Amino acid sequence: MDDLKICCPKCEWEPDGLPYWQCDCGHVWNTFDTAAKCPACHKQHKLTICPVSCFALTPHLDWYKGLDKWLEEMVAQINEEVIVNT
């Protein structure tokens, strides 16, 4: 997954590893360390705010660029295997 890049879907700001995100429980952490799951209360956050650039609130998964391509390749691989086996 070398092509995987994390950036804001709106403005393409890339997280710099600092803890910008605050959970409802008050815990502050880098949400990309844990795929948007709060390490303190284990709440899974579906939306992620762009904390320093455009402040847009977008689905956490939309931040992962290259994931679609990776998924496509996986699906293509599975299809190939199916063809070989039949």
Near Zn ion by CB under 5 A: residue from 21, 31, 38, 63 = 38
Q: What angle do CA 15, 18, 23 make, to 5 degrees?
A: 95
Work out the end-to-end distance of the chain between its first and last CA atoms, rounded to an integer number of angstroms: 29
One of 53, 66, 72, 73 touching Zn ion (CB under 5 A): 53
In this complex, which beta carbon is closest to Zn ion, that of residue 25 or of residue 74?
Answer: 25
- Residues forming contacts to Zn ion in the complex (CB under 5 A) are 8, 10-11, 13, 23, 25, 27, 38, 40-41, 43, 50, 53-54
